Structure 1
Amino acid sequence: MTQEESGPRRPRAVTIKHVAAEAGVSLQTVSRVINGGPNVRDAIKERVRAAIDKLGYVPSLAARRMGGTRSYVLLALNDRDRTIEGWRSGDGTDWVDQMMLGGMLECARHGYRMIVELVDTHSAHVERELGAALAALHPDGVILTPPHGDNPIITGMLAGRHIPFARIGSTGLGAGFAISMDDARAAGAATEHLVSLGHVRIGFITGSDEYALSGARLLGYRGAMQAAGLAEDPALVARGDFTFSSGAEATRSLLALADPPTAIIASSDQMSLAALEVARALGLDVPGDVSIVSFDDTPIVKFSVPPLTAIRQPIAPMAARAAALLIQTANGEPASEEANVLPFELIVRGSTAPPRT
């Protein structure tokens, strides 16, 4: 069979062996040049780099690993149950997408790869699950997303193995890089926005107690209410866990009060969408009868009717910062372990307005 009959041949992949042969050096020498390793003469470095340029070689992870102890891989841990629930529901939440966007692009800038593993933070076997992932990947660092960053078993295990890690959405003291937005200030800004519109009775739906950020948001809401001279009413705080169903139940309890709120802040987009649905089912107009503010600002809230006013979390920038700090550490560069607090945005849309007089 001729080449014409069998179709065009695929171009031969250039490997580190081809570079070594072209430069007339060993595989280990090529790897040391790629990784910036020691004990290579400048003349040899130039020969290797010239060979790389001539052949168009792109170093693989395997080639980069040959020259040292680094894996050039970062491991990101996400909560299994919530991630799978979000994917299966198809509700348009994109927390994981934004986390991967920020982390993967930052890794690509430095020749790294980011691999996402789903771990059940509630499992009695969490140490075994994490240990298996660490043994398989040998990551240079680990990115912990909520609530993993506040799980002492996970953080203790990583610290005990001297594996650098970053905690997104976690501000607690302890090992690792803490990276977050100012959740208390964000909730305060949402509350102040409603107060500025003239609202006095403002309800608040909390997130899950597993997340440190839930408590911070509640404190921010309470602080803003107090600063505005508004009396604290415990009945205006309803418990949620970030899910749609918990948001619906919390909203029903708030709107059933003898003196219901004219505005509600929900600690997640899913709960705010539930609040919108419950209000409509009760024949209430949004924002005429009740204003709603959300957290996260995932795509779906932009297309609700009305579109929801929301606190936008810097999810992608937080993941990028986490990756950058871990790569700095792997490179032996100094990286501050002080809390990295990134700015949020309050996006005002059609779901908030002055209360009816």
Structure 2
Amino acid sequence: MNKNKDVAGEDQSGALMADVARLAGVAISTVSRALANPGRVNEKTRAKINAAARQLGYTPNAMARGLRVGKSNIIMIILPGSLYYGASQVIPQVLQSINKSLIQGGYNLMIANLDRDETSERHILDLAFGGSVRGAIILSSKLPEVDGRSLANSGLPIVSMLLDMSDAGLQSVVTNDREAVRDVAAELIRLGHRRFFYLAGPEGNYHDVERYGGVLEALEAAGLSEDSVHRSGGHLDYQHGFDIGVQAAEDFAELTEKPTAVIATSDDMAISFVSRIQRTGLSIPGDVSVVSFDGSPVCEFCSPPLSTIKQPVEEMGRAAVDLLLDAIGQRQNTAAVRTVIRSSLILRESIAAPKN
């Protein structure tokens, strides 16, 4: 009896959400939802989880539990390059969503900035291999790798968000970039547009490949060739979206036969582009229709209000955390999957049929 009491005491002092999940026979993400938002879990499952939590003495004080059992409760979020993202609120919204979900799951967030240099990569790898973090969500297209060490072989559960890295063996949460842009390009074609101007992100970037691919698919479906679209940009990262838009406006001004519809791969690009071409006397959407990608709140307050494809960042953040916590709870590698959460078009006054 005394021995059993001792074992129970150890469980109570170090119970983690993963322990509750195993005892209740459910996924760790289900435990997270049941404890944080009971209404999202059916009554029978919730009862099993509550019973397991009581038996193990589980409490939401994640930091204290982690210190007692020698396990980190910190999840590392790896961001690409500069933390400056212009008017786009995608990254801040992503971080807010991830942080909220992690807190509900009993974990804390730590931001690591991948600056594409050996120092930052080594720092991230030291954290991963040193046991300082329990898992990672990466928003960069490249995994840190220095001196034969790679984040991929660190043993950490890893989820890629915004970028599809399922081919590299990572669970990935993305939106339907290609389909969303294809649909909006098809709508512009339906309105009568036949000449397009595309503001590109960095050439070869996952988002640019997918979004431009959507434009080409819409053109092909309408019997139009790639000659119907003029590309501008492709040399700067998305952090320089305002600069890309300004340069694109200069490129646009030099064209003899002006496109009647503009598709920008970020809101920042569209905002600066519109500002510059309006100075030349062109009107939106009278002379040219404009649509962008991201869904930044500032688009509503532009003149005219900009149509934009809104990324479902809150849902994507929750999905990424759910996948990561499930992987942590299982303590084994799970098959890489690609979770796609659909974006939606917010239609405003920047789109209309062409004059001619």
Change beyond 3 A, Cα 1:251–1:133 = farther
Unaligned 5+ runs, structure 1? 1-22, 40-45
Q: TM-score, normalised by structure 1?
A: 0.79
Q: Tell me, in whole angstroms, the C-alpha distance in 2 between the residues paired with 1:217 and 1:50.
A: 51
Change beyond 3 A, Cα 1:58–1:339 = closer
1:73-125 per-position Cα deviation (integer Å, ceiling 9, x unaligned): 211111241x1x33xxxx542122211222122212221222222221x2133
Q: Structure 1: which 4+ aligned runs deviate by more than 6 Å?
A: 23-27, 50-53
Change beyond 3 A, Cα 1:62–1:346 = same
Give the letter aligned to residue 314 of structure 1.
P
Contact 1:255 1:261 (8 Å CA) reproduced: no
Unaligned 5+ runs, structure 2? 24-50
2:95 to 90, 94, 100: 100
Secondary structure of the 1:350 match is: coil
Q: Tell me, in whole angstroms, the C-alpha distance in 1 between the residues paired with 2:164 and 2:6.
A: 52
Secondary structure of the 2:173 match is: strand
Change beyond 3 A, Cα 1:139–1:221 = same
Between the two proteins, the alignment pairs up a number of residues equal to 316
Pair 1:353-2:352 in alignment? yes
Contact 1:76 1:144 (8 Å CA) reproduced: yes
Q: 2:156: which partner in 1?
A: 163
Pair 1:124-2:126 in alignment? no
Q: Tell me, in whole angstroms, the C-alpha distance in 2 between the residues paired with 1:280 and 1:230.
A: 28
2:206 to 195, 205, 212: 212
> By how many angstroms is 1:51 displaced?
11
Pair 1:311-2:309 in alignment? yes
Aligned pairs for 1:30-41 within 5 A? 30-33=12-15, 36=19
Q: 2:106: which partner in 1?
A: 111
> By how many angstroms is 1:136 displaced?
6.8
Q: Tell me, in whole angstroms, the C-alpha distance in 2 between the residues paired with 1:307 and 1:156.
A: 48
2:324 to 323, 326, 332: 326
Tell me which of the two structures has the higher relative contact order, counting C-alpha pairs closer than 8 angstroms and 6 or more residues apart: 2
Contact 1:177 1:337 (8 Å CA) reproduced: yes
Change beyond 3 A, Cα 1:151–1:215 = farther
Q: 2:192: which partner in 1?
A: 198
Q: 2:64: which partner in 1?
A: 62
> By how many angstroms is 1:337 displaced?
2.0
Q: 1:18: which partner in 2?
A: none
Out of 180-189 and 26-35, give the one that drifted further: 26-35
Q: 1:225: which partner in 2?
A: 219
Contact 1:275 1:292 (8 Å CA) reproduced: no
Give the letter aligned to residue 346 of structure 2.
I
2:10 to 28, 38, 54: 28
Give the letter aligned to residue 254 of structure 2.
A
Q: TM-score, normalised by structure 2?
A: 0.79
Q: Tell me, in whole angstroms, the C-alpha distance in 2 between the residues paired with 1:33 and 1:319.
A: 25
Change beyond 3 A, Cα 1:31–1:52 = closer
> By how many angstroms is 1:270 displaced?
0.6
Change beyond 3 A, Cα 1:232–1:50 = closer
Give the letter aligned to residue 173 of structure 2.
I
Q: Tell me, in whole angstroms, the C-alpha distance in 2 between the residues paired with 1:132 and 1:208.
A: 30
1:180 to 137, 154, 174: 174
Out of 340-349 and 132-141, give the one that drifted further: 132-141
> By how many angstroms is 1:316 displaced?
2.1
Out of 289-298 and 224-233, give the one that drifted further: 224-233
Secondary structure of the 1:125 match is: helix
Give the letter aligned to residue 134 of structure 2.
D
Q: 1:288: which partner in 2?
A: 286
Identity across aligned pairs (percent)?
Answer: 24
